[in-house]
């Protein structure tokens, strides 16, 4: 399998300190059912963390949401700059299937690579 289609451990946020550092990150994007928080890192690639609380649903639902987010990140990670990303699922995401989650997270990931001055021009 090509490297662009994998999700190695080096592409994951695994330590609590990484998640805590993102807690007050200045870059946030609201998508339907998700909050995507990111911050530049000193590494050569983007890394993903996923937060799905028990308020969202039972273990089956939480695991499904995480699978969806990992798959979408796996397909988009080559186009992302070197950032740490935390995808925080909201209750609304429990009712979404993959075909509804994919465009929301892809839009969020595209937003990450856009410089802030370009964002203002694009939103008008």
Q: Does residue 121 belong to any structural domain of this protein? A: no
Q: Does residue 119 belong to any structural domain of this protein? A: no
Q: Does residue 123 belong to any structural domain of this protein? A: no
Question: Which tokens in the block code for residue 123?
Answer: 């939103």
Q: How many domains does the chain have?
A: 1
Q: Does residue 45 belong to any structural domain of this protein? A: yes
Q: Does residue 54 belong to any structural domain of this protein? A: yes
Contacts 24+ apart (CB under 8 A), 112-119: 112/27, 112/29, 112/36, 112/38, 112/80, 112/81, 112/83, 112/85, 113/79, 113/80, 113/81
For the stretch 50-97, pLDDT in tens is: 999 999 999 999 999 999 999 999 988 888 999 999 999 999 999 999
CATH number (domain holding residue 11): 3.30.230.10
For the stretch 3-36, pLDDT in tens is: 556 788 888 899 999 899 988 888 999 999 999 9
Burial class (CB in 10 A: 0-12, 13-18, 19+), 122: exposed
Predicted TM-score of the model (pTM): 0.85
Q: Does residue 120 belong to any structural domain of this protein? A: no
Q: Does residue 80 belong to any structural domain of this protein? A: yes
Q: Does residue 124 belong to any structural domain of this protein? A: no
* Domain of 86, in residue numbers: 3-113
């Amino acid at each position: 399998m090509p490297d662009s289609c994998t999700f190695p451990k080096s592409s994951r946020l695994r330590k609590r300190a990484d998640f805590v550092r993102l807690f007050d990150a200045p870059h946030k994007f609201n998508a339907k059912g998700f909050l995507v928080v990111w911050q530049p890192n000193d590494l050569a690639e983007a890394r993903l963390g996923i937060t799905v609380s028990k308020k969202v649903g039972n273990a089956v639902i939480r695991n499904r949401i995480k699978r969806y987010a990992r798959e979408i990140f796996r397909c988009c990670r080559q186009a992302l700059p070197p950032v740490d990303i935390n995808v925080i699922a909201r209750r609304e995401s429990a009712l979404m299937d993959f075909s509804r989650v994919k465009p929301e997270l892809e839009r969020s990931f595209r937003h990450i690579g856009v410089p802030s001055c370009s964002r203002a021009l694009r939103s008008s």
